[in-house]
Chain A
Amino acid sequence: MYFEDVELGDEIGPLEKIASDQDVIDFCNLWGPPTPNRFTDANEAAKSKLSSPIVPGIMTMALMAQLFTDWASQDSLKDLNLVFRQSVPHNKPLIIGATITDTREEGGEHLIDCDVVMTGQERERYVIGTATVSLPSRNSQ
């Protein structure tokens, strides 16, 4: 993907991800939050008034980052800024998409800015935010 190939309003994605119970357990084993917790334990989730364990915010962020690493070159994501609107469930399709809102050159880099959103199958808006991606330019080749 090159900078010259994108235009304002272009859509990126959608990318569909699912965070299974095991994926979240594996993530938490690496991350190390106190156990039991609302991410892996139904009782702890219930104490937090959640209907079931939820995906950690930083795991949700990692899932959303893949929209951009899949689309552009793999080390192109410069900035990802997210607001968590609703708890993200396990085992349900999570649909991630972005819309390009600006293209610019700054500090010798060719950058695109996007609005990004993660929704559920019923179009629940779990996460909203913005992202900035650096793309190579054909003119630099």
Chain B
Amino acid sequence: MAMELDYDKSLYGIEHKAGPFEVTKEMVLAFSKSIGQRGEIYNDESAALAAGFKGVVAPPTMCTLMVRHVKLPDIKLSEAHGKARFHAGQRVQTRSNITAGDSLTASSHLKEVYSKTGRSGTMVFIVWETTFSNQEGEVVADVEESFAVRE
């Protein structure tokens, strides 16, 4: 039988917006350096332009940096489900390239809350989904973040 979860279900259907976030060449180069990404289009503007991009290209998961800037509400999950929280999973679906010079806006919503029981007990998972769009209104990425709560 599924566990009945006690949290603020009125949060479904509400979009939380943030931005614009300017994607600068400096940001892309710093991100690429910090993760050891040596691909030409992520590090060399002339190589990116020669390859047909508008500017140096953001590595495919770079937009995840911006998710934390969306102010997400507390879902008020009952402490009966536990207090310890950790980052359980992440998903990025890229829809279009992001390049230096782009300006991104984010829109996040509560996607789902569910429980799973395993060897270590029951955990509750809270999943937020964030859609990033660029200055043309084009969706460039969808990011899901899953947080687990347990005793």
Q: Which residues of A line the B interface, CB within 8 A?
A: 17, 23, 26-27, 30-33, 57-59, 61-63, 65-66, 69-70, 74-75, 77-84, 129
* CB neighbours of A81 from chain B (8 A): 89-91, 144
Q: Which residues of B contact A83 (CB under 8 A)?
A: 88-89
Task: Map CB proximity to A onto B51-83 as digits: 1 under 8 Å, 0 otherwise.
Answer: 000000101111011011100000000000000
A66-B65 in contact given A75-B97, A79-B92 (Cβ < 8 Å): no
A19 to B3, CA, bound (A): 39
Chain B interface category by residue count: 20 to 34
Q: Which residues of B does A touch, CB under 8 Å?
A: 27, 30-31, 33-37, 39-42, 57, 59-62, 64-65, 67-69, 86-94, 97, 144
A-B pairs, top 9 by smallest CB distance, nearest first, are A26-B34, A81-B91, A58-B64, A27-B34, A57-B87, A62-B35, A83-B89, A77-B60, A74-B39
Q: Are A84 and B39 in contact (CB under 8 A)?
A: no
User: How many Å from the CB of B14 to the closest CB on chain A?
Assistant: 24
Asked if B90 and A61 sit within 8 Å, CB to CB, the answer is yes
Within 8 Å CB of B35, what residues of A?
Answer: 23, 27, 59, 62-63, 66
